[in-house]
Amino acid sequence: MIKLVKRFFRKKLEQSWHPIRVEALIVEDQQDESDFLAGLLRANSVLVTQAKNIAGALECLNQPVIFQLAFVDLKLPNGSGIEVIRRIKETKRLTHVIVTSGAIEQVPLVMSYGYVGLMGKPFSSSTVSEILYKHRLPGSF
Tell me which residues of the chain have a pLDDT lower than 50. Answer: 5-6, 9, 11-18, 139-141
Q: Is residue 11 part of a domain?
A: no
Q: What is the DSSP letter of 114?
A: T
Interval 81-90: pLDDT, tens:
889 998 998 8
Domain count, the chain: 1
- Domain at 90, CATH number: 3.40.50.2300
In a domain, 65, yes or no: yes
The domain in which residue 79 lies consists of 21-134
- Strands 46-51, 22-27: pairing is parallel
Position 51 scores a pLDDT of 96
Whether residue 6 lies inside any domain: the answer is no
Beta strand 96-100 with 117-119: parallel, antiparallel or unpaired?
Answer: parallel
Regarding pTM above 0.85, the answer is no
For residue 10, is it within any domain? no
